[in-house]
Amino acid sequence: MSRLVFVLNGPNLNLLGKRQPEIYGRETLADVEAECRKVAKDLGLDIRFHQSNREYEIIDWIHEAREIAGGIVINPAAFTHTSVAVLDALNTFDHPVIEVHISNVHKREAFRHHSYVSLRADAVIAGCGTQGYLLGIQRVARLIDQGARK
């Protein structure tokens, strides 16, 4: 299986570090990307790291991942709670999908408790801060390695 993993980030995550730091912390998305690259390298994975505020771009990257990637780690941000289109795109992807939320969405407003993406995700990580991305990458690596051994 491909050892390329797409790490996808939805709307407003470009403001990570500045946006509600009491909820999302002070690390920037560039910091998160650098950490993801370090962890991925140690696990023998390549990553493509993207962020968009536009739903169609997230969908287009999922379509690209369909052709070339062995896994997706996605923080769909607010699209988690609204987007059937992102769910439908993920349903076209045949390899592991890990859903990540920096905050513990279950401790927050009721509208954050429902996730369309969770209907497809193989695992959901919430409330681990930005470490959740690293845990997601580790999990994808494990699943790719298990798939390769089958």
Given CA atoms 95, 82, 14, 24 in this order, what sign does their dihedral have?
Answer: negative
State which of residues 75, 89, 95, 136 lies at the interface with ligand DQA (CB under 6 A).
Answer: 75
Q: Is 101 a catalytic residue?
A: yes
Residue 78 sits in the site that holds ligand DQA (CB under 6 A): yes
Nearer of residues 43 and 78 to ligand DQA, judged by Cβ: 78
Stretch that binds ligand DQA, among 36-44, 62-70, 97-105, 139-147 (CB under 6 A): 97-105
Residue 105 sits in the site that holds ligand DQA (CB under 6 A): yes
**Per rule CB under 6 A, count of chain residues that contact ligand DQA:** 10
Q: Is 114 a catalytic residue?
A: no
Nearer of residues 3 and 101 to ligand DQA, judged by Cβ: 101
Q: Which own/partner pairs from 60-65 qualify as long-range (CB within 8 Å, at least 24 positions apart)?
A: 61/6, 61/8, 62/6, 62/8, 62/86, 62/89, 62/90, 62/92, 62/93, 63/89, 63/92, 64/6, 65/6, 65/93
